[in-house]
Amino acid sequence: MDSVREICYKARQASYDLAMCDAQAKNRALQAIADRIEADADEILRANALDLQQASEIGSAMQDRLRLTPQRIAAMAQGVREVAQLPDPVGTVVREFTRPNGLRIRKVRVPFGVIGVIYEARPNVTADVAALCLKSGNCVVLRGGKEAIHSNRALARIVAQGLVDGGLRAECVGFIDDTTRESSYELLRQGEYVDVVIPRGGDGLKHFVTEHATMPVIASAGGNCHLYVEKSADPDIAKRVIYNAKMSRPSVCNALEQLLVDREIAPTFLPDMLETLHRDGCKVAGCERTREIVPFVETASEQDYATEHHDYELTVKIVDGCDEAIDRINRYNTKHSDGILSRDQALIDKFTRKVDAACVYVNASTRFTDGFEFGFGAEIAISTQKLHARGPLGLEQLTSEKYVICGDGQVRE
């Protein structure tokens, strides 16, 4: 078995040819991978059964994340085909201009080269990530978690076979068949061969990667998402948006966690809003002023305001106005998705300019932070850092740019 370093080196070598491939060649390989996933579904299911057996002592939520079914495998293959349908970002001329001395400068979209992805639990990531990286012209080195090792191993073999079937080199998708901490650490030391690393998982993984990576990281944090009900808000819109943001799928990163309400509107708005949420199974904790208005609300701790509950739980805080709301959001948010409910354009403008987040919403649910909802298609993660790309990381965000400067003998004075 190749060492981590060898896998990365081979991916780097393969990356120069992959960067030259046109969309057709890449799509052919993606189709072949999808076909192969379908053809070898039984093998994937058998491998997955081993993972589930090994995971018998962990909770049912974790088991559900691990579990593959014939339907989920079909969806995985379909996902790969959908990536083939997306436009190829590579080679796009982003900008083009001619200097007074006649130099023609083009800024062209190019692949990064090699992307490292360290991920946890879900085995479908193996196929999704491989497809997105390939389509954006990048080789990828995958290092999955130990919970899904049998499934990941089977999928990696299938993807490699699909690559060869489709006319590309198997080394385009490297797989580290070692789930020790050392293998992650070793991958993070390969700055010479790996251009960018993307962690997909919890905060622990993110910190480990940020701490040890010798190459740039694209980090995604969880979403401690806020909505602020400003006093001019349309109460019906506010109610609908908040209900959707909290209740439609509380386990995901774009779900609402923190509700801020202007003190002027709180007495009329909060009772009905919180009773509806409570009735439908949502735990509500809040500040003292909230509890004076809605007695069943529990006392929120300072920690609650900084917590991504990931569940049917909401923290409520009454604020004195837009400035306090903005200050609190910038203090407690994870730079993911935050919004305002308001009809006051001046305050909306202030809020959207000052709130520091990848996605700032006005009168809409935070649940829209998603590659498909934005119309970009599949994404590899939601970036919450400010460098390179913020928000959904789709194909375009998996590329870099370079300048190509053409002359006819120009020299500098």
Binding site for a copy of itself (CB under 8 A): 16, 19-20, 97, 99, 103, 105, 110, 112-113, 191, 195-196, 210-211, 214, 216-218, 234, 236-237, 240-241, 243-245, 248, 326, 330, 339, 350, 352-354, 356-365, 367-368, 373-375, 385-388, 390-391, 400-412
- Shortest Å, Cβ 40 to a copy of itself: 33
Distance from the Cα of residue 219 to its chain's centroid: 9
Dihedral class, residue 95 (left if φ above 0, else alpha if ψ from -120 to 50, else beta):
beta
d(Cα 132, Cα 111) in Å, to the nearest integer? 11
Looking at the DSSP assignment, which residues form a beta bridge with residue 337? 359
Closer residue to a copy of itself (CB): 148 or 382: 382
Contacts of 203 (CB under 8 A, 6+ apart): 221, 222
Distance from the Cα of residue 302 to its chain's centroid: 28
- Shortest Å, Cβ 321 to a copy of itself: 15
Closer residue to a copy of itself (CB): 285 or 325: 325
d(Cα 240, Cα 67) in Å, to the nearest integer? 33
Closer residue to a copy of itself (CB): 159 or 227: 227
Q: How many CA atoms lie within 13 A of 121 on its CB side?
A: 15
- Shortest Å, Cβ 222 to a copy of itself: 16
As a residue count, the chain comes to 413
Closer residue to a copy of itself (CB): 57 or 413: 413
- Shortest Å, Cβ 132 to a copy of itself: 17
Closer residue to a copy of itself (CB): 289 or 390: 390
Closer residue to a copy of itself (CB): 176 or 196: 196
Residue 42: CB atoms within 10 Å? 10
- Shortest Å, Cβ 119 to a copy of itself: 19
d(Cα 336, Cα 220) in Å, to the nearest integer? 8
- Shortest Å, Cβ 302 to a copy of itself: 17
Residue 225 φ/ψ, nearest 5 degrees: -80, 140
Closer residue to a copy of itself (CB): 254 or 307: 254
Identity of the residue numbered 98: T
Dihedral class, residue 187 (left if φ above 0, else alpha if ψ from -120 to 50, else beta):
alpha
Closer residue to a copy of itself (CB): 121 or 347: 347
What three-state secondary structure class fits 28?
Answer: helix
User: Are the C-beta atoms of residues 121 and 201 closer than 8 Å to each other?
Assistant: yes
Closer residue to a copy of itself (CB): 161 or 244: 244
d(Cα 160, Cα 175) in Å, to the nearest integer? 9
Residue 105 tokens, joined: 């400068």
What three-state secondary structure class fits 234?
Answer: coil
Max intra-chain CA distance, the chain: 79
Closer residue to a copy of itself (CB): 146 or 350: 350
- Shortest Å, Cβ 185 to a copy of itself: 14
**Nearest one of 367, 305, 371 to 339, comparing CA atoms:** 367
Identity of the residue numbered 333: N
- Shortest Å, Cβ 316 to a copy of itself: 19
Contacts of 204 (CB under 8 A, 6+ apart): none
